[in-house]
Amino acid sequence: MLRKILLPSILIILAYGFWISPDFKEISAGVAIFLFGMLTLEEGFKAFSGGTLEKILQKSTDKLYKSIGFGFVTTAIMQSSSLVSVLTISFIGAGLIGLTQGIGIILGANIGTTTGAWLMAGFGLKVKISAYAMPMLAFGVILIFQKAKSLKGIGYILAGLGFLFLGIHYMKDGFEAFKETVDLASLGVDGFKGLLIYIGIGILATVVMQSSHATIVLILAALSVGQITYDNALALTIGANIGTTITAVIGSLSSNIDGKRLAGAHFIFNVVTAVVAVVLMNQIIYVVEIISDFIGIANDNHTLKLAVFDSLFKIMGVLMFIPFIDKLVNFLNRTLKTKSSKAEDSFDSVKYLNDSALELPSISMAVITKETTHLYENAFEIITHGLNLQRHNIVSSMPLDEVVEKEYSKEAVDIDDFYNRKIKGIYGEIIDFSTRAQSHMSPEDIETLYKLKLANRDIVEAVKDTKHLQKNLVKYSKSTNEHIKAQYNTIRRDLAELLRNINIIATTDEEDVMIMLLSKAKLHTKKYDILANGTLDNLIRKGLITNEMATSLMNDSAYAYDISKNLIEMANVIFIENNSEMKSIGEDMLISDDEIDSILEQKEVS
Amino acid sequence: MSIKKFMQSVRESLGLSDFEKSGKKKSVKNLLKKLRNREDKILKSLKKKIEKKEKKELKEELDIISLQIKNGKKILDKLNS
């Protein structure tokens, strides 16, 4: 409802402003160009986020001070806290970093935004910035048209900076010309009332522009030509800091629970810091004066003093919050919980997929991989129970013959029910998400994504084959005919071995163990195929099983063979090809089908 | 000079094109080292008095490792050529 009213109101106000004042038009155009510059700059940095940024993020966030440092540095370089926030939300959503680290990054990003104020106050307002903008735009646009991703990225960054500079130029010019017709400073309000009014204006301006950076640049441009008073500018800066959290809260509505918690932390941090700043306003201004004197800022240089205020107020907030981060995390985990009814509880849903992850291809890929692993964990449960085995025995070191003896249930479990509750929904969501993620991906990424989709299909097929296998497996594993019973228990044993090995592959860091176990699994699948190794022929020839049993065994061994093949393929994609050390060599190091045949032939000869 | 060629020459002069290759080489070498260690352990175990079943399993592992070491060497040769 609010959105429906807000947009037309803004458009009407803007149109009216353009009609009565050409200078207002220039200022607005400056803000629009500046915001477009920020979008372009973000687009440029996204081109370089295909792994490098994410790797640095993961390695730089294991300690709180590192998270804060990372947030500061990346925001200072990219001049966009929103891109850093988006990345952070995506990483939390993907389970790659925790909420505490995420909050650390946001705190650092908050300090990082102050570099924008310093650049604007120290450089942007003193030189003819548009002179730098023009060549940047020209070079930038030429590079944007290039095919190479890196050149395109550089082009977007150059064009983005060009637009930022051009926007600042127009804002500055607009305010200078505006001053000749209307003196906004005469509308300034003093005292506590003025403080609250201008905080409100700061909030509103940031919510409308969706960027505190743009608001602060606008404040500095107005302050530099004396269109607003220094006191009112300070209040506007506090307001901008609150307004930016509203933008983050709105942005988090489409994200998962972790994204919402992070936005909650951002909101609490900025509002509390703002309240403290209002209460201690006089003391902070006093400290700003001392610092300004110390670093040699002239008494009448209000723009640089504003930059000092902005930095001091944000650093103060971060220092104030550091001791309480763990408490804040606990509070957010307690208060913001996923809503689920009892009926929904029995249906498992996706854990990692969320729309915020769609922003960057590498993050989309990371969440799809994690979700596929989640799907496999559910499939592992279904397959194990379908084979009438106990999960904890499979992942233990219990001898496999004993694992087979210990049944899960006296009756067959309902695999259809399991499938509907724990597989179907997640599988559908992964495919839907992959299709949406694909539109932002390069051809190489699409190829990797295709393999991931196939891995998902392999998991689903393995579950379906287990359902087919289960029927006779329950019947014959208790048969009075010892031969057929032994065959079905061998199938259970072989699959239990495969599931155990995949579990080890999924949890180990040792690459040699991974490729050894997967190669072994490939070898055993072929070795234990009773059609190929002659076991079935033997049983029939010697009349040890009936014709009906032989037909069932032949069909079911084919199902078991397919389950093994599908699970091996899946494990290769998820655990070998997605392992950073094994990615480029895993495929070549696994033994091929010909090599398997040669090992089997050797055995026959010996 | 086209931009593509220019970028290629920059990559070469900074040694960036070899970066990927050397990373791959390092991974293969590490893996080969681990596989050889494992091979040694199996050979030592086979010399001891062990059950027939265990011996069969170890021999099978040895067959796989030998092939993997061979494959690793092939990859390394390709990367060095």
- pLDDT given at position A503: 92
Q: CA torsion angle for A328, A330, A332, A334 (degrees, to 10)?
A: -150
Domain ranges in chain A?
Answer: 2-335, 355-605
Are A464 and A416 contacting, i.e. CB atoms less than 8 angstroms apart? Answer: no
- Kind and range of the H or E run holding B43: helix B17-47
Task: Tell me the pLDDT band of A52, cut-offs 50, 70 and 90.
Answer: low
- pLDDT given at position A451: 92
Select from A148, A511, A519 the Cβ nearest to the Cβ of B7.
A148
Q: How far apart are CA A441 and CA A541, in angstroms?
A: 57
Report the pLDDT averaged over residues A259-265. 85
Task: Tell me the pLDDT band of A38, cut-offs 50, 70 and 90.
Answer: confident
Are A35 and A211 contacting, i.e. CB atoms less than 8 angstroms apart? Answer: yes
Q: Is the pLDDT of residue A587 over 80?
A: no
Q: Is the pLDDT of residue A604 over 70?
A: no
Domain ranges in chain B?
Answer: 21-80
**Better pLDDT: A390 or A40:** A390
- Of A508-512, A517-521, A578-582, B42-46, the least confident: A578-582
Asked if the C-beta of B32 comes within 8 angstroms of chain A's C-beta atoms, the answer is no
Please answer yes or no on whether A581 and B61 come within 8 Å at the CB atom: no
Asked if the C-beta of B25 comes within 8 angstroms of chain A's C-beta atoms, the answer is no
Task: Tell me the pLDDT band of A216, cut-offs 50, 70 and 90.
Answer: confident
ipTM for the complex shown: 0.80
Q: Is the pLDDT of residue B5 over 80?
A: no
Asked if the C-beta of A584 comes within 8 angstroms of chain B's C-beta atoms, the answer is yes
- pLDDT given at position A145: 85
Task: Tell me the pLDDT band of B2, cut-offs 50, 70 and 90.
Answer: low
CA A51 to mean position of chain CA atoms: 12
Task: Tell me the pLDDT band of A335, cut-offs 50, 70 and 90.
Answer: confident
Residues 6+ apart with CB under 8 A from A156: A40, A41, A43, A44, A47, A140, A144
Phi, psi of A340 (to 5 degrees): -155, 135
Phi, psi of A207 (to 5 degrees): -65, -40
- pLDDT given at position B3: 57
Q: Please count the residues of chain A.
A: 606
Report the pLDDT averaged over residues A186-215. 79
Q: Is the pLDDT of residue A156 over 60?
A: yes
**Better pLDDT: B33 or A9:** B33
**Better pLDDT: A293 or B49:** A293
Query: If you measure CA to CA, which chain A residue comes closest to B5?
Result: A148
Q: Is the pLDDT of residue A54 over 80?
A: no
Are A427 and A460 contacting, i.e. CB atoms less than 8 angstroms apart? Answer: yes
Q: Is the pLDDT of residue A353 over 60?
A: yes
A123's tokens: 């450089």
- Of A28-32, A47-51, A150-154, B56-60, the least confident: A47-51
Are A56 and A78 contacting, i.e. CB atoms less than 8 angstroms apart? Answer: no
Measuring CA to CA, which residue among A302, A307, A309 is closest to residue A286?
A: A309
Are A560 and A525 contacting, i.e. CB atoms less than 8 angstroms apart? Answer: no
**Better pLDDT: A555 or A86:** A555
Residues of B with CB below 8 A from A501's CB? none
- Helix, strand, coil percentages for chain A (3-state, nearest 5): 80, 0, 20
Q: How far is A581 from chain B (nearest CA, A)?
A: 6
Residues of A with CB below 8 A from B63's CB? 599, 602
Mark A114-141 as b/e (b = at least 16 C-beta within 10 Å): bbbbbbbbeebbeeebbebbeebbeebe
Are A41 and A156 contacting, i.e. CB atoms less than 8 angstroms apart? Answer: yes
Across chain A, mean pLDDT equals: 83
Asked if the C-beta of B60 comes within 8 angstroms of chain A's C-beta atoms, the answer is yes
Q: Is the pLDDT of residue A404 over 70?
A: yes
Please answer yes or no on whether A589 and B31 come within 8 Å at the CB atom: yes
Domain range A355-605, CATH architecture = Up-down Bundle (1.20)
Q: Is the pLDDT of residue A41 over 90?
A: no
Asked if the C-beta of B38 comes within 8 angstroms of chain A's C-beta atoms, the answer is yes
- pLDDT given at position A2: 61
Q: Please count the residues of chain B.
A: 81
Q: Is the pLDDT of residue A274 over 80?
A: yes
Which range has the top average pLDDT, A77-86, A510-519, A526-535? A510-519
Phi, psi of A521 (to 5 degrees): -60, -40
Report the pLDDT averaged over residues A570-588. 79
- pLDDT given at position A378: 93
Q: Is the pLDDT of residue A383 over 90?
A: yes
Report the alpha-carbon angle A117-A123-A127, nearest 5. 140
- pLDDT given at position A380: 94
Q: What residues 39-58 of chain B have any CB closer than 8 A to a CB of chain A? A: none
- Kind and range of the H or E run holding A242: helix A230-252
- Of A3-17, A426-440, A493-507, B42-56, the least confident: A3-17
What pLDDT digit, counting tens, does each position of A438-480 carry?
887 888 888 889 999 999 999 999 999 999 998 888 888 778 8
Q: How far apart are CA B21 and CA B23, in angstroms?
A: 5
Q: How far is A38 from chain B (nearest CA, A)?
A: 27
Q: How far apart are CA B32 and CA B76, in angstroms?
A: 10
Task: Tell me the pLDDT band of A377, cut-offs 50, 70 and 90.
Answer: very high
Residues of A with CB below 8 A from B7's CB? 148, 150-151
Q: Treating both helix axes as pointing N-terminal to C-terminal, what angle do A511-527 and B17-47 enclose, rounded to 10 degrees?
A: 60
Residues 6+ apart with CB under 8 A from B72: A585, A589, B28, B31, B32, B35
Q: Is the pLDDT of residue A124 over 70?
A: no
Are A115 and A285 contacting, i.e. CB atoms less than 8 angstroms apart? Answer: no
- pLDDT given at position A28: 86
Q: Is the pLDDT of residue A132 over 90?
A: no
Q: Is the pLDDT of residue A225 over 70?
A: yes
Residues of A with CB below 8 A from B24's CB? 584-585
- pLDDT given at position A30: 83
Asked if the C-beta of B71 comes within 8 angstroms of chain A's C-beta atoms, the answer is yes
Query: If you measure CA to CA, which chain A residue comes closest to B75?
Result: A588
Q: Is the pLDDT of residue B26 over 70?
A: yes
Are A458 and A567 contacting, i.e. CB atoms less than 8 angstroms apart? Answer: yes
Q: How far is A502 from chain B (nearest CA, A)?
A: 17
Residues of A with CB below 8 A from B17's CB? none
- pLDDT given at position A375: 94
Task: Tell me the pLDDT band of A497, cut-offs 50, 70 and 90.
Answer: very high
Task: Tell me the pLDDT band of A504, cut-offs 50, 70 and 90.
Answer: very high
A98's tokens: 């925790």
CA A464 to mean position of chain CA atoms: 31
- pLDDT given at position A60: 75
Q: Is the pLDDT of residue A51 over 80?
A: no
Q: How far apart are CA A57 and CA A403, in angstroms?
A: 43
- pLDDT given at position B4: 59
- Of A389-398, A463-472, A529-538, the least confident: A529-538
- pLDDT given at position A1: 61
Q: How far apart are CA A490 and CA A556, in angstroms?
A: 12
Q: How far is B65 from chain A (nearest CA, A)?
A: 7
